[in-house]
Structure 1
């Protein structure tokens, strides 16, 4: 595992898993939210995002977490492992609200500088509708295109923890 692509709803734990795997495997972690957003919550164009992603995509190893379907085709071609965190909408919604309350006014390391934590009704609806609007329409198609990649789907917190424990055991021996 050298090039790992992590997909899933907001609040599914993509950033957390990426950081933990990056630490265990000593691989650089790239957060797509950090590449996409500019200070003041301004969006990058697809061309800008593609160019920012290109800075990492040809490296021998990376963990790139985040969806951004307009540019994931390149990641998919380069990834040797695709992880999809398919956690339920109740947990993801709870996590984004908890994260917001914990970080109000601050900027998380997985976001661009100048993008303090925020919450909108549209974002909550996005997370709530993710299974119907994104997973069923986009993610399943991507996973079916990942012929050369190892595809790992985790549907609950226990599966994620067991997956991480496997690496912890390998790297502590």
Structure 2
């Protein structure tokens, strides 16, 4: 396992798990939000974003967290060796998103100039978080099945399952799969 894609709702723990896996497996971590957003929450040109993602996953080993299914699955999934779906309860996601906005701490997975704040756009984002499983997850899963149906998927829900998954991995060594270059 050298190339892992992590999917899930905002606040589900994608970035935290990616950092932990990156450290544990000694591989680079790609945060899609960091590649996508520009200062002031400005969206990049679609081709520019795709070029950033292509460049970021050009190595033989990476952990890539973020959904962006319609924009990047065709780039990421053909190279992925594992997909991790974080099935975090929406109330947990909702609470985490509110707390990180209220605390307004800089996040390593976000670019400079993109701080979360309580405003109208944030309220819209909270709606996204609350309705994610019903409204957005089905289309992400459909895109995953279309582009990467043969990529193994594991579902993790909660700290205990994540800890058990991490404990089952060899530490600080790269994991090799037969198809890795």
TM-score, normalised with respect to structure 1: 0.89
Partner of 1:135: 137
Q: Is the CA contact (8 Å cut-off) linking 2:28 and 2:62 kept in structure 1?
A: yes
> Deviation at 1:110?
0.4
Secondary structure in 2 aligned to 1:153? strand
Q: Is the CA contact (8 Å cut-off) linking 2:30 and 2:57 kept in structure 1?
A: no
Partner of 1:114: 113
> Deviation at 1:150?
2.0
Quote the Cα distance in structure 2 between the aligned partners of 1:166 and 1:101.
35
Higher relative contact order (CA 8 A, sep 6+): 2
Secondary structure in 2 aligned to 1:152? strand
Quote the Cα distance in structure 1 between the aligned partners of 2:68 and 2:130.
18
> Deviation at 1:74?
1.2
Quote the Cα distance in structure 2 between the aligned partners of 1:152 and 1:122.
30
Secondary structure in 2 aligned to 1:58? coil
Quote the Cα distance in structure 2 between the aligned partners of 1:143 and 1:13.
23
**Number of residue pairs matched?**
168
> Deviation at 1:143?
4.5
> Deviation at 1:44?
1.4
Cα deviation code 1:18-64 (max 9, x no counterpart): 00000000000010000000011111122111010011222101111
TM-score, normalised with respect to structure 2: 0.86
Partner of 1:72: 73
Does 1:21 find its partner at 2:21?
Answer: yes
> Deviation at 1:165?
2.2
Quote the Cα distance in structure 2 between the aligned partners of 1:7 and 1:75.
12
Q: Is the CA contact (8 Å cut-off) linking 1:30 and 1:65 kept in structure 2?
A: yes
Ranges in structure 2 where 5+ consecutive residues have no aligned partner? 173-181
> Deviation at 1:73?
1.9
Ranges in structure 1 where 5+ consecutive residues have no aligned partner? none
Quote the Cα distance in structure 1 between the aligned partners of 2:137 and 2:67.
11
